[in-house]
Amino acid sequence: MPVWWNLPVVLLTGYAAWTDYQRQEIDNWIPVVVFVYGIILNVFVFPLKFKESFVYMLAVFAILFTIYTVTNGGLGGGDVKLLTALAFFYGNISIAVLLIAGITAFVHAFIKGIKDKTYFSTQIIFGPSIFLAVVLTSIFPLQI
């Protein structure tokens, strides 16, 4: 997939990260637009990847909704919706997006926990980590 096709998703995810940072909330329209853009690309450009993208979206949603439920909202609902829409857009690359976002969030929380002396009860905003993962996977596209 050409890198420029990722630009709308990068911009939308950047806006989501900004709103998450400012108000600890991701607007509902952002995942909807990412999802619709993913549908358009999958129907008209990559029709053979539609089923694959749908399966990845369902798997990511199931995992993240379970985490959301178990942590009693520790992972925000906006994060779940955004990552689910990104899973549909990226298909098999969504695993890399989740891994990069998780690692960067862990490193951020670890450093902040030591700095603030909150350790395992440290809370961070996940949107910027998702944005970083989207940027990195757009700059360095994986061929899986």
Query: What is the predicted pLDDT for the residue at 144?
Result: 53
Residues 13-51: tens digit of each pLDDT: 999 999 999 999 999 999 999 999 999 999 999 889 999
Query: What is the predicted pLDDT for the residue at 77?
Result: 93
Report pTM.
0.92
* Gap between the Cα atoms of 97 and 110, Å rounded: 20
Q: Report the range of poorest mean pLDDT among 64-73, 91-100, 117-126, 135-144.
A: 135-144
Q: Where are the alpha helices (DSSP H) in 45-142?
A: 50-70, 77-90, 94-116, 127-139
Q: Mean pLDDT throughout 88-100? A: 94
* Gap between the Cα atoms of 49 and 97, Å rounded: 18
